[in-house]
Amino acid sequence: MSMRLMECLATTPVLAELFSDESVLRAMLDFEAALARAEARVGIIPKDAADTIKALAKPGSFDVPALAVAAFRAGTPAIPLVKALTDQVRKTNADAARFVHWGATSQDVMDSAMSLLLKRAEPILISDLFRLENALKAVSERHKNSVMVGRTLLQPAPPVTLGLKAAGWLGSVRGGRHRLQNGLDDAAVLQFGGASGTLASLGDRATAVIEALSVELGLKAPSAGPWHTQRDQLATMVCACGVLTGSLGKMARDVSLLMQNEVGEASEPGSEGRGGSSTMPHKRNPTACSLTLAAAYRMPGLVASFLSAMVQEHERGVGGLQAEWPVVVATVQLTGVAVASMAEVAEGLSVDTEKMRVNIEITNGLIFAERAMMLLGPKLGRDVAHKILEGAARRSVHEGRNLAAVLADIPDVTAHLSAADLKELETPEQYLGSAEAFRTALMTEPGPKNNDNDDKEQ
């Protein structure tokens, strides 16, 4: 495992391993080996040279700390890596050494290596997202009738169901998954353009090499040539990470608030070594929510950094690429830790339906003031009904009485609402509106969106 103490709360073990020094180095060397094989396939370099380069492009043969120090001087890890690989090949086959990195440029190595890493990250992220979605479906279905206080501006509002709340989380997460999958798919693209993005060094065989190299690496060939300073597909992926992590942060915020002792309606799963305090043995802290919220706090700045770095000059930019690598890695790892954390929360969420009912009752019926106003509005007019309910609400708070009891003392109310009406007023199940219809709609996986323009003649 390659997790470092300074980053241990900002990634998962599997993503830490994916973006470890050895894994990143392997991706760069995979590009060099694949390039040699592709060029041998189309007859640009000798096959024995490609075989030698492939055989020696192994991470264990390289001094990573030395490469990192050299990269600081060179402005890119690709330059010292190519030099070290050439030296390795030369020791075995001097002629083959001439063909290392043939026709490529440093950015081709860096961008293609990142594309490989993103392609390898996709199944990790998507697997945890499906875990989360399946868990949220189960929570929503199990608690479709679990009534709880709705909360607006952190204050009590008309009732909702936990099933609807969980379905809302699900809908947002599912949309984020679709955007992320599309973003990662678009970002897994080969970069191969040579010095100025023309591959002039390969003459009329450039396209053939691109096709062969994309097959070797399992990456899509670029649809319209190299994209050295066109960073839109990576930007889309980074933005998708930002939106998804924000959605997960919203879920984490909700759960952590529900865990407060004063609320006590739901909580994260607890276990040995999880959620405790170094000084307070009674604590059950929202650990997974904390990690998710930390990711959500950091993500907007990272997304902004990437978007700023898109403004790259001409055919090859100054500083933009160097800014991107750590930003892309951080966005993917933060997304990963947020997804994995909330999957764990959803799978082990503890729910106290009795406390939900208690929290409804301690509002003394005030959360049903809107319902009373809507019943009286057609009889008295909305403005008059609203004024009556405002006064009744103040009396309810001041006197510590239920709203229905206060309303029963007001002649303008009892003239239009019977004792049975007032008794039913504070029954939460009777004022859920379209909660179940909305929940059901959110639980359904939407089909692909049709683009009307696709059916029109161009």
How far apart are alpha carbons 364 and 291 in whole angstroms?
Answer: 36
Q: Is 223 a catalytic residue?
A: no
For residue 226, give both structure tokens.
């190299």
Closest of 325, 296, 426 to residue 366, by C-alpha = 426
In this structure, are residues 166 and 383 in contact, taking their beta carbons and an 8 Å threshold? no
At 136, which helix (H) or strand (E)? helix 106-142
**Phi-psi category of residue 434: left, alpha or beta, with phi > 0 → left and psi -120 to 50 → alpha:** alpha
DSSP letters for 107-124? HHHHHHHHHHHHHHHHHH
How far apart are alpha carbons 198 and 316 in whole angstroms?
Answer: 12
Instruction: State residue 101 phi and psi, 5-degree precision.
Output: 65, 30
Q: Which of the 8 DSSP states describes residue 198?
A: S
Over the Cα atoms of the chain, what is R_g? 30
In this structure, are residues 222 and 190 in contact, taking their beta carbons and an 8 Å threshold? yes
Q: Indicate the length of the chain as a whole number.
A: 458
Which listed residue (196, 201, 277, 434) is catalytic?
A: 277
Which listed residue (253, 316, 357, 395) is catalytic?
A: 316
CB atoms near residue 21 (< 10 Å): 14
CA 142 to chain centre: 25
Q: Is 284 a catalytic residue?
A: no
Closest of 232, 216, 222, 259 to residue 37, by C-alpha = 216
Q: Which residues of 93-116 are buried (b: 16+ CB within 10 A; e: fewer)?
A: beebbebbbbbbbbbbbbbbbbbb
How far apart are alpha carbons 30 and 58 in whole angstroms?
Answer: 8
How far apart are alpha carbons 171 and 133 in whole angstroms?
Answer: 9
**Catalytic site residues?**
277, 316
